[in-house]
Structure 1
Amino acid sequence: MYSRKFLIKPPSSSSNQMSRLCAFGRLPIFLGLVLLTQFAAASQRCEVPKESVNILMFMPDERRGSFWLAANHFAKAVASDFGISLRVVEVEEPENNRVAFESLVKRALGNTSYEQPDFIISMLYGGGELSQLSLFNQHNIPFITINSSLDKRTLQLMEHPREQFVNWIAHMSPNERLAGKQIVDALTVDANFKQLAIIGGYTHSSVNNHRIMGAIERAQQIGLSVVPPVYTNWTKAESMKAANALLRRAPDFDLLLTIGPDIAAGSIEVMQSAGKNVTVGSFDWAASNVNLVERGLLEASLGGHFMEAGWAMILAYDYLHGLDFIDETGPLIDTELGLLNAHNVANISPLIAEHKWQNIDFKVYSKCVNSVLIHYDFSLLQEN
């Protein structure tokens, strides 16, 4: 089996892209996920649209962070355009571990007061991926997993989608280790630093760990000393405590990497209060990170993957109507995050900060609905 890569990239004004998108009367203004493939148009034809499509989605409670708030809003906007009946089961703090999450999944799928879903979209919890895939698979409902960093060892145990677990249709997730390297590159391209400090999230989070591993690898390659990372529960309050502890333990760092947006918000507040002059980088295009970039307090942030749930929903819609995306995307859809900084924040801010998804017609991304679409091209567009 094989994989294809989605790239989250800056707005492009190239003539090829402009002419292609003008067929829909739209122009690109914003970064999105662009599928980098050169396959011929699918010979399949879309089946007659179902009267209703029911999708069940498992997603962390939007109150647990600005990333999940944006992801939730984006997914609901996509569902609205397609007339999809979307049921979001929010994973609240007590279920924020693999054992409790699996119990939540069992309750949700066993709840007879809801109609049986046609498709499931979910993240996975680190350390329990195999049992979670088995749990989803046994219900004989096709599903896509998203936003979960899987290493080679885990994939060897699970095999690829459509192999051991036949109802596991695809996995869409960023290359978090690569992202860790890329954010260090972005932060150091025009400046010389001596010491990198890192404030991370949960130690059991594969996303957190892979980002940190990539960042440390790149920092060491370019000669930066690295302070041992400190960890939090991803919240602003805990991040403020961690930042204060970091200042006491290693006050000489001049570059700070925060592994999530709420960590960035808390850490920057502490740095300002302490009068600490430090360059800060982060991950995610959450509204708080957009605001920090606009204010000049955050140098750069890699993100855009909050949109994965919405894009997975479009692939699910086409799949349920007889158009399988496998020949174009492969079973492993690898997303490479895009850079948010002072140069492009004006383009990104209106959509992220204000959630103006209602201005976007998401149906143009579906091969079923948009009969002239040859390749999946998940670039966010807006009327010119």
Structure 2
Amino acid sequence: MLKALCRSLCLSLPLVASAQGASVVFLNPGYSNETFWVSYSRFMQAAASDLGMDLSIQYSERRPALALTQARQVLESAQRPDYLVLVNEQYIAPEIIRLSHDSGVKLFLVNNGLTENQARLIQEHPDKYAPVLGTLVGNDEQAGYQMLKELIALRARPGITRPIEMLAFSGIKTTPAAQLREKGMRRALAEHPEVRLRQVVYGGWGKERAFEQAQQLLKRYPKIELVWSANDEMAFGAMQAFAEAGRMPGQDVLFSAVNSSPQALQARIDGRLSVLMGGHFSLGGWAMVLLHDDAHNLPIDRDGHRDHQIPALQLIDPVRARRWLNQQGRDDYGLDFHRFSAEGHSADYRYPFLEAPVNY
């Protein structure tokens, strides 16, 4: 049943919740069978269905050129949506924002916001670029920092003076989230001179590439004890290489990762992942709440801001991992999205998901 639902979300056909609701197209940058981005879409659809919105999801299969083609088709369509939700993956957002000028479609960014230079360019040329309704990004830099701090604490022991050797697997260089997670990792590293970072490699978020990279790195650095990874797929690829070399994940070498896929949650329960951060799959769902309110003429900049970084990424211990595994089998994630809307609240209402992590 769950597999059938996930498969249906991989299609680019409109998923109609209500003929009266606001219409939204989400340009999903991931693969249509990629665990994280499919779960991201599921959460968005749960919010859309609950709020009576019409959501269509299009996957660009990690191909920026395809994402631009999809955006152009949406914006030039005779039946344009009310809102277009996009991700600044590989820096494509400014071109989509340019294409949307005078289209009447409102834009909202999730997960990867504009860089400072991109934001400045857009602000300086309002005649060429459409305004952006808002942005929701996660706490990627803090997550990268906290993940390494936790990992070091598990290996460091009082009185140990020998260096602790480490590898790091980052995502794609032109993805802001990857850059921020790596920045946080390096900030934590600067606080621990006993940890020796042997190399940072860019696994492109993929398991197979990280596996091949780890095979070569193990030959070069046989004494690695810590592996920091910007997502779960790369962690699993590296883990496979270490296991095939006779190194026991969770014992001989400790792994960390980001994402709350069922595989990652189970690995945290089993102890193969020693540190896990997750929860940012929810950003698209919270964006749907904001778009619902905007469509009802409710101000979404209640705190005076339209660009928000929210504490979506949080540490997942084995207890939380078991709970999240159980909840992922529910279509609505056990949440009533109406209760997060400003509808029916006073003018001083603040969105709770902007202030603190939501407890699933």
TM-score normalised by the chain length of structure 1: 0.77
What SS does the corresponding residue of 1:203 show, helix, strand or coil?
Answer: coil
User: Does the C-alpha gap of structure 1 residues 308 and 101 become closer, same or farther in structure 2, counting only changes over 3 Å?
Assistant: same
Mapped contact 2:24–2:83 kept (Cα < 8 A):
yes
Mapped contact 2:100–2:129 kept (Cα < 8 A):
no
In the TM superposition, 1:89-108 aligns within 5 A as 89-93=58-62, 96-97=63-64, 99-108=65-74
- For the pair 1:237 / 2:208, whether they are aligned, the reply is yes
Letter in 2 for 1:234: W
Aligned residue number for residue 290 of structure 1: 265
Letter in 2 for 1:312: A
**For 1:248 and 1:102, how far apart are their aligned partners in 2?**
41
Mapped contact 1:240–1:269 kept (Cα < 8 A):
yes
Which deviates more, 288-297 or 128-137? 128-137
**For 1:122 and 1:189, how far apart are their aligned partners in 2?**
37
Mapped contact 1:199–1:242 kept (Cα < 8 A):
no
Q: After superposition, give the CA deviation of every residue in 1:119-153 in whole Å (9 maximum; x if it has no partner).
A: 12111233333222222344222121001054434
Q: After superposition, give the CA deviation of every residue in 1:288-327 in whole Å (9 maximum; x if it has no partner).
A: 2111101110011222111111110110010110101112
What SS does the corresponding residue of 1:199 show, helix, strand or coil?
Answer: strand
- For the pair 1:195 / 2:165, whether they are aligned, the reply is yes
Aligned residue number for residue 208 of structure 1: 178
Letter in 2 for 1:219: L
**For 2:330 and 2:189, how far apart are their aligned partners in 1?**
35
Aligned residue number for residue 155 of structure 1: 119
Aligned residue number for residue 34 of structure 2: 65
Percent identical pairs in the alignment equals: 19
Aligned residue number for residue 150 of structure 2: 186
Unaligned 5+ runs, structure 2: 1-17, 157-162
Letter in 2 for 1:257: W
Letter in 2 for 1:318: D
Mapped contact 1:140–1:167 kept (Cα < 8 A):
no
**For 2:180 and 2:55, how far apart are their aligned partners in 1?**
31
Aligned residue number for residue 7 of structure 1: none
Aligned residue number for residue 346 of structure 1: 322
Letter in 2 for 1:248: K
Deviation at 1:225, TM superposition (A): 1.2
Mapped contact 2:88–2:114 kept (Cα < 8 A):
no
Mapped contact 1:260–1:283 kept (Cα < 8 A):
yes
Moved over 4 A (4+): 162-166, 369-373, 379-382
In the TM superposition, 1:1-384 aligns within 5 A as 51-93=20-62, 96-97=63-64, 99-112=65-78, 115-159=79-123, 167-192=131-156, 194-223=164-193, 224-276=195-247, 277-328=252-303, 330-336=305-311, 337-352=313-328, 354-357=329-332, 359-368=334-343, 374-378=349-353, 380=358
**For 2:218 and 2:141, how far apart are their aligned partners in 1?**
26
**For 1:293 and 1:381, how far apart are their aligned partners in 2?**
18
The count of aligned residue pairs is 327
Computed over aligned residues only, the root mean square deviation of the Cα atoms, in angstroms, reads: 2.7
**For 2:51 and 2:38, how far apart are their aligned partners in 1?**
21
TM-score normalised by the chain length of structure 2: 0.82
Unaligned 5+ runs, structure 1: 1-48
Deviation at 1:348, TM superposition (A): 2.5
Deviation at 1:50, TM superposition (A): 8.7
Letter in 2 for 1:116: R
**For 1:105 and 1:196, how far apart are their aligned partners in 2?**
41
Mapped contact 2:74–2:80 kept (Cα < 8 A):
no
**For 2:43 and 2:173, how far apart are their aligned partners in 1?**
28
User: Does the C-alpha gap of structure 1 residues 63 and 55 become closer, same or farther in structure 2, counting only changes over 3 Å?
Assistant: closer
What SS does the corresponding residue of 1:375 show, helix, strand or coil?
Answer: coil
Deviation at 1:157, TM superposition (A): 3.1
Q: After superposition, give the CA deviation of every residue in 1:195-250 in whole Å (9 maximum; x if it has no partner).
A: 22012222332222221232123213211211221222322222211221221122
Q: Which structure has more RCO (C-alpha within 8 Å, separation ≥ 6)?
A: 1
Q: After superposition, give the CA deviation of every residue in 1:54-106 in whole Å (9 maximum; x if it has no partner).
A: 1111113453521101101111111111121111111124xx22x44222210
